[in-house]
Structure 1
């Protein structure tokens, strides 16, 4: 059971500590007694932060910076989809729209992503979350320069490798940073917004390529690749104006700075704020200053206990399912649209529209991230994804069976509509939680290395998507969709039996859930007394 106290009360038991707090608060009478999931979140509801204060605006800047770190992945997906059908790009590299050569060009990005996580975790643990973001952003700028100036296929492939290398550093550092700086009551929305940066990259990329595809020179594909470094350059410019993660500070023995952070940004400047007291006690009890994060080679925090194995299992599930639920088809949107009869120009337009509607779905998911249970969203969203992909595959099959001179355009439009609905549902369910869920499940001392391993698995399945996708589309065409229909049904069953609920607790309180006998069914609640002065004390575990 987590005891609620400041570090100086660590020697006291829970009863003594609550009595001490009561004396300090002039023995204020209880206003009401409630049963809640989290004492800290109950306190946060009694003492809401001013969303328009200077300190809140700084937190928004932190959120925006992490959002920019996520833009690189979305930009790459959308820009490669578009330039792959540009005539000057094809003339320069003669890669083909689909097939093994295109698969190599697309998938080498994930090979770079498979290489860097082994240093991304140690870098983020050793030098801090901010420096991790800085280093990743610098690497992306270098990769953008290499790829946009390419005159040979070898240089182009090298540039994509460098881009993938840098992106994996960002996707290790940025989500770890934003989940650790977020106030407990804003955690779901702020961390979920990070992964919406995917659309912050894909929508501008789709819009830029829609405009440049009319240029009758290599600039048609070079300009979009030059713009790929813009978000990373902005990160380089502003990252040093942001505060460092308080959890990283405490883990590296900067206690005063860590306490000052949560006092200022989580407690509105009041060191006796109940959220500050509750968080600080949990920090001191749950974060080790001599953990495996101090040893670059030590990944034992991911597997050494039953609790840590449950935590990492959730990371593995999200890394696989988040990449292999049919969303990998997004790299080949234009081929999907071409297969049901849309012209080259309309393929560019639909590529842009697809990014926009997917973004809307993701933002809706972010808006409810602190209210809807994670399990419910993952189970229902995965099953709905299977349904819409099945409709898309069936209509595509119907379109393919029609004679070329008797095509029914409404069938093709229905297939595209079903694919759009799949993108909306997938984005609602997965886009926010791909960032929120793994970093919530990991402990502070394992978070950076855990997210690095998350990046390894993501890139393994990204490689399968990007290398196998063009080959599969060339050989089995629309039937490729049905592979994901079946797999999404399997994912739904796995989520139902194994997904652990993380909503409604602070990061440190989740230890109670993961140490229970069967975390997916853990129902750990607390009885708290809310005082007349708004302070919240733990009475007992329910």
Structure 2
């Protein structure tokens, strides 16, 4: 079958795997406040009040629980069978989960289906960034991997409007139809992946060198077998594969050896912090927040949908400028802005809110209500929070981890980092409904403090990786012999976007990109020859 090598087409198809996670988020947030759902899955003595807060937290978190387990296993699947086949397997699992969810007869069946859906999301969320990062040229890697987050935002928005439209259906069709329609993108993903090439770096790790070179020619050389960029990329891949094979057998324990522990902690916390911003739980439970702001019925759902539109639109700047601006500045600005809006919302709800025992309009999780200007301020700050997350931590949390690790370890390392995302997604999905019910507005303070902590952590520990080929990122942490060496502090590392862009265009005559900590001897040893 003919394979297509346009990197934008490759990204457009593979990121559908990320979009499946977005479909799941809004399929719950748009449905959990509707009458058909509340009546069918009711647990209390009062009709149509829905599951208890703890059970609803468990239903929401069940998908993340499945994702956590699958993301850990995805490293083995990806390393054994390839990045492409791992993603295709995830698509098949998603279809199975959607069938069970849409046919749910009770809460237990719904949870089982969502756990199975989580298996797909865990595999795809871990391996799609790996697949794209191993194919994309350095100057485009950020925008292409970050497109996974854009796909998530599109999935959230599309599914929300589908769920909103179906909310006018009578009976269980109001939630069964949207849950069944989630199968469509997974089917598109499965068949779309068949026309895409495998990762060249995975092929190299299996000694399939001819296929590796063919993929590089297809994706980077535009069909030119004599492309100097392809020759340089192929040589670097071969060099680092040989170096890595001198190491001991790769396993998850390798991540905790002195050689890799720093990168392991950075990748893991990139994903953990992205959850502790509170973004995903605010997406799941935004209807609770806006209920506290006095919105009801269709006004509630339409107002909630605005934040999904903001999420889609505000992710675009990151796709355009993330490689130019770099990873560090983007993360630092995002966490500072989010902390601001979270603390403001806490102050408004705490200072202007009126306690409502039993919940606003029967929603147990909405124990506080604000009106007038305070209500508008809560809604505005919620929108500004989304607008701050969308171009910063949203895409960078997927872009950054795959850039940190060498070829042999990348599949397992990113799987481990992503498992941190899903572990905290599970915990927070379970935590938020009872938190809104018990500590009410103080929930915002919890996430605001996390945003302050992540700002400090990023500033001191997260180096800049933008603009560097993956093999050169490895050089930031160690020398080719694998000897532990200490580079410059994270806050002094540079973005080499412009240099990389020139080299991809075929200009290899200039200086190679270097971090400030490289010795002159090492620079001379790694300098490419001038091509006449």
Q: TM-score, normalised by structure 2?
A: 0.85
1:292/1:300 contact within 8 Å kept: no
Counterpart among 293, 315, 325 of residue 362 in structure 1:
315
Instruction: After superposing the two structures, state which structure 1 stretch, 366-375 or 407-416, moved more.
Output: 407-416
Query: Is the aligned partner of 1:93 residue 2:41?
Result: yes
Deviation readout 1:478-518 (Å, 9 max, x if unpaired): 22111111111111111111111101211111122122514
Once the two structures are superposed, the pairs formed by residues 232-311 of structure 1 within 5 Å of their partners are: 232-288=186-242, 291=245, 298-306=251-259, 308-311=260-263
Once the two structures are superposed, the pairs formed by residues 34-433 of structure 1 within 5 Å of their partners are: 58-94=6-42, 96=50, 99-288=53-242, 291=245, 298-306=251-259, 308-327=260-279, 328-401=281-354, 408-433=371-396
1:385 & 1:441 partners in 2: Cα distance? 25
Does the C-alpha gap of structure 1 residues 106 and 402 become closer, same or farther in structure 2, counting only changes over 3 Å?
Answer: closer
Give the structure 2 partner of residue 493 of structure 1: 456
SS of corresponding position for 1:134: helix
Does the C-alpha gap of structure 1 residues 417 and 265 become closer, same or farther in structure 2, counting only changes over 3 Å?
Answer: same
2:267/2:417 contact within 8 Å kept: yes
2:246 & 2:124 partners in 1: Cα distance? 21
Give the structure 1 partner of residue 435 of structure 2: 472
| CA shift for structure 1 position 338 | 0.1
1:269 & 1:57 partners in 2: Cα distance? 9
Deviation readout 1:411-434 (Å, 9 max, x if unpaired): 101111011101111111111112
2:370 & 2:264 partners in 1: Cα distance? 49
2:448 & 2:246 partners in 1: Cα distance? 40
1:442 & 1:288 partners in 2: Cα distance? 15
2:31 & 2:247 partners in 1: Cα distance? 41
SS of corresponding position for 1:284: helix
Deviation readout 1:68-97 (Å, 9 max, x if unpaired): 000111111111011111111111111536
Does the C-alpha gap of structure 1 residues 276 and 213 become closer, same or farther in structure 2, counting only changes over 3 Å?
Answer: same
| CA shift for structure 1 position 269 | 2.5
1:292/1:301 contact within 8 Å kept: no
Does the C-alpha gap of structure 1 residues 426 and 524 become closer, same or farther in structure 2, counting only changes over 3 Å?
Answer: closer
SS of corresponding position for 2:295: coil
2:143 & 2:68 partners in 1: Cα distance? 28
1:267/1:276 contact within 8 Å kept: yes
Greater RCO (CA < 8 Å, at least 6 residues apart): 1
| CA shift for structure 1 position 249 | 0.6
2:268/2:418 contact within 8 Å kept: no
Aligned positions, number = 485
Instruction: After superposing the two structures, state which structure 1 stretch, 387-396 or 484-493, moved more.
Output: 387-396
1:391 & 1:506 partners in 2: Cα distance? 41
Deviation readout 1:504-537 (Å, 9 max, x if unpaired): 211111122122514515648999999x994425
1:293/1:446 contact within 8 Å kept: no
SS of corresponding position for 1:70: helix
SS of corresponding position for 1:428: coil
2:41 & 2:340 partners in 1: Cα distance? 38
SS of corresponding position for 2:212: helix
Instruction: After superposing the two structures, state which structure 1 stretch, 160-169 or 86-95, moved more.
Output: 86-95
| CA shift for structure 1 position 397 | 2.4
Give the structure 2 partner of residue 11 of structure 1: none
Deviation readout 1:428-454 (Å, 9 max, x if unpaired): 111111211011112211111112212
1:275 & 1:197 partners in 2: Cα distance? 30
1:103/1:469 contact within 8 Å kept: yes
1:124 & 1:242 partners in 2: Cα distance? 16
| CA shift for structure 1 position 360 | 1.4
1:136/1:167 contact within 8 Å kept: yes
| CA shift for structure 1 position 121 | 0.9
1:55/1:265 contact within 8 Å kept: no
2:306 & 2:52 partners in 1: Cα distance? 22
2:311 & 2:495 partners in 1: Cα distance? 36
2:4/2:195 contact within 8 Å kept: no
1:507 & 1:165 partners in 2: Cα distance? 28
1:260 & 1:97 partners in 2: Cα distance? 55
Deviation readout 1:229-249 (Å, 9 max, x if unpaired): 221111111111101110011
Does the C-alpha gap of structure 1 residues 434 and 268 become closer, same or farther in structure 2, counting only changes over 3 Å?
Answer: same
1:191 & 1:339 partners in 2: Cα distance? 36
1:78/1:331 contact within 8 Å kept: yes
1:321 & 1:351 partners in 2: Cα distance? 24
